[in-house]
């Protein structure tokens, strides 16, 4: 699976949009981008995933660049409960089911 690079930490004001970047410049054509988050003392929680089109669900939006070498997770109206470590993961769907978690981005929502 391709390697991902994320900033170690970010702050965002409560109520504003949180934009979390991820670089995956070696991504292959059949690799999806997944986002998980881990709130303190809990297990990782799935947020969203996509291949090349932008995706939106009730939690977030995922914007993938046209060349697929980077993506941005958007939390449209951040709340204090969104404070967590966010992981960007690239993997082939239908291949090995292993998720390789990097160090992620520690997002802190500031009141």
Please report how close the Cβ of residue 72 comes to other proteins at its closest, in angstroms: 19
Half-sphere exposure at residue 27, Cβ-oriented, CA atoms within 13 angstroms: 28
Segment contacting other proteins by CB under 8 A, of 5-13, 17-25, 55-63, 92-100: 92-100
Interaction mask 69-88, other proteins, x per CB under 8 A = ------------------x-
> From CA 8, how far away is CA 10, in angstroms rounded?
7
- Which one of 58, 67, 98, 111 is in contact with other proteins (CB under 8 A)? 98
With CA atoms as reference, report the closest residue to 60 among 103, 17, 24. 17
DSSP 8-class letter at 80? G
Instruction: Write each residue from 25 to 64 as x if it is in contact with other proteins (CB under 8 A), else as -, in one continuous string.
Output: ---------x---x--xxxxxx--x---------------
C-alpha distances (whole Å) from 19 to each of 9, 41, 67, 77, 92 are 12, 23, 19, 10, 24
Interface residue list for other proteins (CB under 8 A): 34, 38, 41-46, 49, 87, 93-94, 96-103
């Amino acid at each position: 699976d391709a390697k991902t690079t994320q900033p170690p930490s970010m702050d965002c004001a409560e109520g504003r949009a949180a934009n979390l970047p991820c670089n995956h410049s070696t991504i292959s054509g059949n690799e999806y981008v997944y986002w998980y988050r881990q709130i303190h003392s809990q297990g990782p929680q799935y947020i969203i995933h996509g291949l090349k089109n932008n995706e939106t669900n009730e939690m977030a939006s995922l914007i993938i660049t046209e060349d697929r070498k980077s993506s941005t997770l958007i939390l449209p109206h951040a709340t204090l409960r969104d404070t967590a470590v966010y992981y960007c993961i690239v993997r082939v769907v239908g291949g090995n089911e292993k998720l390789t978690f990097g160090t992620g981005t520690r997002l802190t929502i500031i009141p």
